[in-house]
Amino acid sequence: MKKDIHPKYFEHSKVVCACGATYDFGSTKEEIHIEICGNCHPFYTGNEKTLDTAGRVEKFRARKALGATKTPKKTTKKTAK
């Protein structure tokens, strides 16, 4: 194999979650920041957590509220003579 082509490997790189949990893994990066981990993931905790990207959640909730206020129109089928 060629020498000096592989990145440096850190045996104890620090992984930090947005919830504050820290982990110690081996990686090619010395420090990694993540948004969600096993301590705060909804699948494991059973709690709902929404990650809002560019206000998409608020836009969806606004559309949903607007749709709930509207009453559906009754349509009548015209018969052909």
Residue 74 resides in a domain = no
Residue 11 resides in a domain = yes
Q: pLDDT tens across 46-79, in order?
A: 777 666 667 788 888 888 888 877 666 667 777 6
Q: pLDDT tens across 5-35, in order?
A: 989 999 999 999 988 899 999 999 999 999 8
81: pLDDT strictly greater than 60: no
Residue 40 resides in a domain = yes
Residue 14 resides in a domain = yes
- Check if the beta carbon of residue 50 is closer than 8 Å to that of residue 57: yes
What is the residue range of 14's domain?
A: 1-46
Largest CA distance in the chain: 86
Distance CA 64, CA 51 (A): 18
What's the number of domains the chain is made of? 1
pTM over 0.85: no
For 5, 27, 38, 59, 67, the CA distances from 2, given in Å and listed in that order, are 7, 21, 38, 53, 62
Residue 60 resides in a domain = no
Residue 51 resides in a domain = no
Determine the length of the chain.
81
Q: Which CATH number fits the domain that encloses residue 41?
A: 4.10.80.400
Q: Which amino acid is at 13?
A: S
